[in-house]
Structure 1
Amino acid sequence: MSDLPAAVSPGNTSYGDENPSQEPQSEGRPQARKTAPTGFRIPRYYQILKHNIGGTGSLGAGDLFYQNFEGLNNRLARLNGREFINFCSYNYLDLCGDPRVATAAQAAIEKYGTSVSASRIVSGERPIHLELEAAIADFVGTEAAIVFVGGFSTNEDTIAHLMGEGDVIFHDEYIHKSAQLGAAMSGAKAVSFPHNDLDALEKSLQTHREQGKNALVVVEGVYSMDGDIPDLPKLIELKRRYQTLLMVDEAHSIGVLGKTGRGLAEHFDIDPDEVDIWMGTLSKSFASCGGYIAGNAELIEYLRYTAPGFVYSVGLAPPMAAAALKALQLTQEEPQRVSQLHSRVLLFHTLAREAGINIGEANEASAVLPVIIGQSDVTIALSRTLMDKGILALPIGYPAVSKSKSRIRFFISCSHTDDDIRSAVEVISNEISGSQ
């Protein structure tokens, strides 16, 4: 017997009106319905999801996820006392675990505590917040920046707040879920265009732009499933022609793209002011947690006083702010981290293509590399083989990607060695060749 209440038991998928309980029929009295059960009832789709991922071996990949790793999430991962070469970390610049970043976080705890215990608009603001925001704006190349407590909520809240009913949002079909939800919450008309197809975007702009008082185009700097990047010069040309705002989500491109890691604008050698809204996260290259919006001072001031996810949220925890600030400083003081990352990324690209491995349209500057296998069961089997050989890289399948494009994603760090990358490519090449 399950310990869960009947209403939340996985086996209970009924909804009140489908099989209503009935009082015994009494003569002269209308039939009465019992009170509907209260509490959350598990949606049916989850039963299907649970079945699909619950198996092991060729039947599913459920046991590959939520594994309880030990220690730092850097070049090496430790699980049950065993060490793996880790290609599942977004620790691109190897700053999470750097003792100087940890020391900065510890000093912030000593000075400010573990929480600012209030929203910043009332009593939660501390100097460390303003220092971090000024450093982000300087690094990105904008007038100002604002830091939110979560990367997901940064996208969701900013888009939902800036756009509204009577507006229109154009977004890449592969845009992150946080941006999709922000668009849905805004009340604006949302128009999706085929991935990285800017000709299709222009047709959508021609068709739908006049339907919105305000318009926003949202893309990513590096797409986390495919490792490709958008054509920023063309996007800027379109935004000017059709009078839209342009927003770039740099979660996987800040700290990675460009000679010094300043992102997509530096990669294309374009003035950052050409983009209206730069979004980024602090949890990847910058060894912390949270997200930011960078742009002109007027936009940032407006968000500071009106964005619900900022005004009504506690301020970023001091150790998180201090860690991000120190990581950002080290990125600039030690440019070899970015150049070494670029070297490792190029090596993986070169070896993979020489071996005939399908890495799709991944850009040679991107630290995200998909190894596209196709069939889900073959992809899962390859992931298990890699683990058997001491390499951690996990499978991604439907619905995150289409059913015919299951893949294993590799996230490259500046701390990976040439031998790490050669070993991974060799195992993949041998397994693919052996299965053909």
Structure 2
Amino acid sequence: MGMGDQIRKQLAAAALKRQLERVSGEAQAQLDGAAPQVGARTGALADASWDARARFEAMPLYQQVKLMKQMGETLRVESPFFRVHEGMAGATTTIGGREYINFANYNYLGLASEPSVMAAAQDAIGHYGTSVSASRMVAGERPVQRELERALAAFYETDDCVAFVSGHATNVTVIGALFGHGDLIVHDALAHNSIVQGAQLSGAKRLSFAHNDWRELDSLLARVRHEYRNVVVVLEGLYSMDGDYPELERFVEIRRRHGVFLMVDEAHSLGVLGESGRGIREHCGVPSDEVDLWMGTMSKTLAGCGGFIAGCQPLIDMLRHLAPGFLYSVGLAPALAAASLAALEHLRAEPERVQALKAGGHQFLREARAAGFDTGTSAGYAVVPVITRSSLKAAQWANALFDEGINVQPIFYPAVEERAARLRFFICSTHLPEQITHTIAALARIANR
């Protein structure tokens, strides 16, 4: 590509980016301006106005999708998303009949393809069928569902646990059910979408603090804690975009000092942090009862699907009887519950998987930094970003790696700010040292072109 072509592409990308930043506000303003006034218009004119408004194509969300597609077409960058995997995905995967080194999945301990885990799921299907088909409260439970919850409660050293059918829905429904008007929800500025959505839907006041900045949180609570009835602080055990973690012991001190609830989302830290994979509490040396709500997912380390909350008995009783995402949703499929229960048993019995994951993550971080890549604040536990600071570059690098037999996903604008565009590598315990070294070498060649 000539220098002139490169400059034109960069200018086109910048123009499309600015357009994408404006489109939501502008489209909504246009729709609001065109909205018919009830009682002011009648007949064909009113019908035409309503017809123009009731179109999905006119929604700001669709305008964003259209512009993202336009950006890819203008820059001649093939979309790296929605690729079809033709078998089990772990350290390697098969796409289009070709095997790739795979850094685009959360099968951190390789348990989703473990024969005994798959056998447990198959046995559950043979005994219970593929679905329980209704809410557990109104239609009854299956033993394996409660076995999983009791095992998770024991793992977290809590009174009880309740399992939901979706990790995202777990945060949304639990935060929304427990907190409302007159309460305050404070979360890390980089908290997962599910945490933000739950806070927004709850009706409670929502504030954020700078990423992992316990001092800012302390100062914030000193100013406003007295204005609210219940206050909950929500953190993540391992942040999936940056691969870093909070100083949990500092947040525990704040919990005590200000009299607030503390919720920790362990979606990416369960089975990853701690010598035996017990998560951030083991990594930071914090007793389990210093955190009020332990949230986690079964879709990553635990080789299934769904989410859970572990905590004291009053908490679990409230959620089991009144949380909409549990009460009005189908119960966890027996095959998924059985798979996650078997995976949890492997996690408890085989800490060497956790050590292999730690070694691979640290190797990737070490070699990426040695090659001159910006890995941000990653601590080298399962998640390592390579920050490109350019959406175009992130997409180009991802596609170039794919051509060389390496599958990794880019994260770019508008999912993150343009300056934070990146490739995001997820490392599994089953990745071989030579696969990691080969990947960094390939990335270095691509970056130097």
Same fold, judged at TM 0.5 (above):
yes
Aligned AA for 1:111? H
Alignment of 1:12-411 (within 5 A): 15=31, 18=34, 33-34=46-47, 36-37=50-51, 41-42=56-57, 43-56=59-72, 59=75, 63-364=79-380, 366-411=381-426
Query: Which is further off, 43-52 or 178-187?
Result: 43-52
1:153 Cα deviation from its structure 2 partner: 0.4
Report deviation, 1:141. Answer: 2.2
Q: Secondary structure at the match of 2:418?
A: coil
Which structure has more helix as a fraction of its residues?
2
Question: Measured at CA, do residues 399 and 207 of structure 1 come closer, stay the same or move farther in structure 2, by a change above 3 Å?
Answer: farther
The CA deviation at 1:188 is 0.6
Q: Distance in 1 between matches of 2:108 and 2:120?
A: 19
* TM-score between the two structures when normalised by the length of structure 1: 0.91
- How far apart, CA to CA, are the structure 2 residues paired with 1:384 and 1:155? 33
For residue 427 of structure 1, give the secondary structure of its aligned residue in structure 2.
helix
Return the letter of the residue paired with 1:428.
Answer: L
Q: What's the CA shift for 1:429?
A: 2.4
Q: CA deviation at 1:263?
A: 0.4
Distance 2:320 2:111 in 1: 29
What residue number does 2:5 align with?
A: none
- Residue among 427, 430, 437 paired with 1:412: 427
- Separation in 2 of the partners of 1:332 and 1:204? 39
Which residue number in structure 2 is paired with residue 5 of structure 1?
Answer: none
Unaligned runs of 5+ in 1: 1-11
Q: Is the 8 A contact 1:52 1:60 kept in 2?
A: no
SS in 2 for 1:85: strand
In 1, distance between residues paired with 2:55 and 2:280?
Answer: 43
Deviation, 1:382, is 1.1
After TM superposition, give the deviation of residue 16 of structure 1 in Å: 8.8
Q: CA deviation at 1:91?
A: 0.2
Rounded to whole Å, the distance in 2 between the matches of 1:308 and 1:410 is: 35
DSSP 3-state at the match of 1:96:
helix
Moved more, 258-267 or 47-56: 47-56
Contact 1:57/1:381 (8 A) holds in 2: no
Once residues 79 and 208 of structure 2 are traced to their aligned partners in structure 1, the CA distance between those partners, rounded to angstroms, is: 34
Higher mean displacement: 330-339 or 144-153: 330-339
Alignment partner of 1:410: what SS? strand
Q: 1:81 Cα deviation (Å)? A: 0.9
Shift of 1:71: 0.7
User: Per the alignment, in what secondary structure is the counterpart of residue 315 of structure 1?
Assistant: coil
Distance (whole Å) between structure 2 residues aligned to residue 19 and residue 360 of structure 1: 46
Secondary structure (helix, strand or coil) at the match of 1:171 reads strand
Counterpart of 1:422?
A: 437
Sort the Cα spacing of 1:344 and 1:31 in 2 relative to 1 into closer, same or farther, 3 A.
closer
Q: Tell me the CA shift for residue 52 of structure 1.
A: 2.1
| Partner SS state of residue 218, structure 1 | strand
Question: Could you tell me the percent identity over the aligned residues?
Answer: 44
Residue 275 of structure 1 aligns to which amino acid in structure 2? V
One-letter code aligned to 1:412: I
Structure 2: state its 5+ residue gaps.
1-26
Matches of 1:56 and 1:377, distance apart in 2: 9
CA contact (8 A) 1:164 1:188 kept: yes
Which letter maps to 1:386? Answer: L
Q: Which runs of 4+ in 1 moved over 3 A?
A: 12-17, 29-32, 53-58
Match for residue 7 of structure 1? none
Change in CA separation of 1:420 and 1:120 when aligned onto 2, cut-off 3 Å: same
Amino acid at match of 2:182: G
Asked if the contact 1:54/1:63 (under 8 Å) is kept, the reply is no
Q: How many residues align?
A: 416
Please state whether the residue corresponding to 1:146 is helix, strand or coil.
strand
- Cα shift at 1:319: 0.4
Per-residue deviation at 1:97?
1.5
Deviation digits for residues 198-239 of structure 1, max 9, x if unmatched? 111112112221121000000101111100101100000111
Q: Secondary structure, in 3 states, of the residue corresponding to 2:208?
A: strand
The 1:19–1:164 alpha-carbon spacing in structure 2 relative to 1, beyond 3 Å, is closer
Task: Report the residue type matching 2:203 in the other structure.
Answer: G
